[in-house]
Chains A and B, each alone.
Chain A
């Protein structure tokens, strides 16, 4: 079936170090991929969305590249900030298919000084 896998449940980093959160997916059809960020006691908010034309989306210093060959959409940032501490979800939805939005298990990122 269709699924999203985030292999790291918890990532702890020191401020200034690079961030990479893994996301791989399985899908019958070509999906849109998303990264959502959820801060404590808040609703998830969209961070990034994949493009259909292989452009690399960027927002708040984060970027991700959709690699169809490896079914991956890893989230990266060159330098972590304290304010990046949050829960990060990778998600997929079909292009033109059902309304089912599938989330990964989430990765909790903790950035310390």
Chain B
């Protein structure tokens, strides 16, 4: 069975510090991968998506970057956090052919 694992579960980071969030999908080869961000009380905003290793498309950057170093891994990062980066970050996957999207449990980020 396929599983999606996000890490860390929660982070409290200082403004100006770097950030790296990770996501791993097991049990499916060549999935589409996504990063979403949700401000507290806000809607889901797609940040990035990737349909293959090494290729990442930006939807909304928010001073963040994403990489897909392996088929089953998606990384979200920034070198300098802003207060506005606080929120809930969700990794998700779907199969090629645009079917249902499955979400991970998310990472709660608080920037102070």
Contacts and interface: CB of A to CB of B under 8 A. Distances in A.
Interface stretch (B11-19, B77-85, B90-98): B90-98
Given A89-B43, A96-B97, A101 B34 contact: yes
Given A89-B44, A99-B49, A103-B46, A94 B103 contact: no
B47 to A, nearest CB: 11
Interface string B65-106: 000000000000000000000000010101001111111111
Chain B interface secondary structure, helix, strand, loop or mixed?
A: strand
Contacts, number: 56
A55 interface: no
A97 B104 CA distance: 23
Contacts of A46: 100-102
A78 B23 CA distance: 38
A interface bracket (residues with beta carbon within 8 Å of B): 20 to 34
A100 B49 CA distance: 7
Given A43-B90, A43-B106, A44-B90, A102 B100 contact: no
Interface of B: 32, 34, 43-46, 49-51, 57, 59, 90, 92, 94, 97-106
A91 B49 CA distance: 16
B84 to A, nearest CB: 19
A46 B102 CA distance: 8
Given A43-B103, A43-B104, A44-B90, A103 B98 contact: no
Contact of A99 (B34, B44, B90, B104): B34
Q: When A and B form their complex, which 7 residue pairs have the shortest distance between CB atoms, in order from nearest? A: A43-B103, A99-B32, A103-B44, A106-B43, A93-B98, A105-B43, A99-B49
A93 B101 contact: yes
Interface string A101-112: 111111000000
A46 B105 CA distance: 14
Interface string A38-76: 000011111001000000000000000000000000000
